[in-house]
Chains A and B, each alone.
Chain A
Amino acid sequence: MKIGITTGSPENNFATLLIHELKAFFPDFQIVILSTEKKGIRNFLRRIGFNKMMRLIRNRGNCSYLDREVKFKIGMVGSLYSYTKRLDIPYYSFSSFNAPESLKSINSFDLDYIINCGGGIFRKGFISSSKYGVLNAHMGKLPEIRGMNALEWSILKGVELGVTLHYIDSGIDTGNIISFKPLKLNVNDSIKLLRERSNLINIDLIVESFRNAKDHPILSEKQNEDKGEQHYIMHHALLQIVNEKLTYEKDNFNI
């Protein structure tokens, strides 16, 4: 099995941990990194923006669940790039996944699956560039919560929290569903903590789906279009309501 993992950044801890888990369960899997990042400090600053850079400087030393897991399981604090170098995993950089010259190379890799770990919007050519399809773990229940701020919209609308693994098609979160894993609320949960825990569930879900697959492509079901709703970036006033619900009304949640 040959898997392509996308990334838009060489510091992608999610992709690092995913590779670690996939390699632990499937040592025979061949992994290839498909990256869209441009190297160099100027491009790094352009990519993350001034505000995020200031946040990174202020929060240096603060570890997310993902950082801790990477440190604990892999014993390293470093980039995806250095981890793949250590494991001798091929790392290919492209200006865009959708450019004709990129597609030509990607098609030549003969990938079975591609797993989305970032890197931008995928067009039709890229979506069909692997044998079985592109997998994406979405932080909300599909088809009910498609789109942006899925976690926040789930809380506002009282929809069960969790992660959905699905195939990517040309729509936004409209592809066939493989599986759903619920996310239980803890007493001290905040949006940030829930998002971090969702990331770990995303990885579990991807690995589990490969472990449970009796055949390929991994079985999936069409989404129920009647239930499908697209969501966009949540206004800060509604975000505040969500945070207050999470802080003061957790016991009343029906999710």
Chain B
Amino acid sequence: MKLNVSYNYPQGVGDIDAEIVSNFRKMISPSLGALLNSDINKQAIDRLLLKVETNKKGLFGKIELWDEKPKIENTIALVCVFNKSFVEENDYRLLNASLKLLDLLMEDYYESIPQSFWPILKEEIDFILSRDFAL
């Protein structure tokens, strides 16, 4: 069983390459970058999930997760963190949080997503949509 959700990408979204990843990592907050590079413990996951659920709109206001004013790229990074942890933990709560963040990005911030970040976002969305739910 697959997820029945579709997202429209802008035309001409290319493949992800090392330069895109490098630029992306320069723009996200150091704390999120560290999470992407490390094994995430259960407490960190629970804290992130709570942040997403209680600050859905407020994610774009200041929360303690990142060091300065949050940006769209930080939210994309959070999707990456959740997807990475989902693979490691097989915890469907993380996939749930990714889906909610993607909705937020697609519904409210589609036009503002930097062109160069679309390949990263597309890869994360493709990953989610490819999940097989023969649980």
Contacts and interface: CB of A to CB of B under 8 A. Distances in A.
B1 A241 contact: yes
B96 interface: yes
Contacts of A156: 92, 135
Chain B interface size, under 10 / 10 to 19 / 20 to 34 / 35 or more: 10 to 19
Contacts of B91: 229
Interface stretch (A60-68, A124-132, A160-168, A230-238): A230-238
A240 B3 CA distance: 8
Contacts of A38: none
Contacts of A23: none
Contacts, number: 42
B78 to A, nearest CB: 15
A231 B93 contact: yes
B46 A237 contact: no
Contacts of B46: 230
A232 B5 CA distance: 19
Interface in A202-230: 229-230
Contacts of B49: 230, 232
Contact of A232 (B1, B53, B95, B103): B53
Interface string B62-106: 000000000000000000000000000001110111011001000
A157 interface: yes
Nearest to A232: B53
Contact of B4 (A230, A232, A237): A237
A235 B92 contact: no
A232 B51 CA distance: 11
A181 interface: no
A235 B93 contact: no
Contacts of B103: 235
B135 A232 contact: no
Contacts of B133: 241, 245
Nearest to A238: B96
Nearest to B53: A232
22 contacts: A153-B92, A157-B92, A158-B135, A229-B91, A230-B49, A232-B49, A232-B53, A232-B93, A232-B96, A232-B97, A233-B53, A235-B99, A235-B100, A237-B3, A237-B4, A238-B3, A238-B95, A238-B96, A238-B99, A240-B3, A241-B1, A245-B1
Given A237-B99, A238-B92, A238-B96, 13 more contacts: A157-B92, A157-B135, A158-B135, A229-B91, A231-B93, A232-B93, A234-B96, A235-B103, A237-B4, A240-B3, A241-B1, A241-B133, A244-B1
Interface of B: 1, 3-5, 46, 49-50, 53, 91-93, 95-97, 99-100, 103, 133, 135
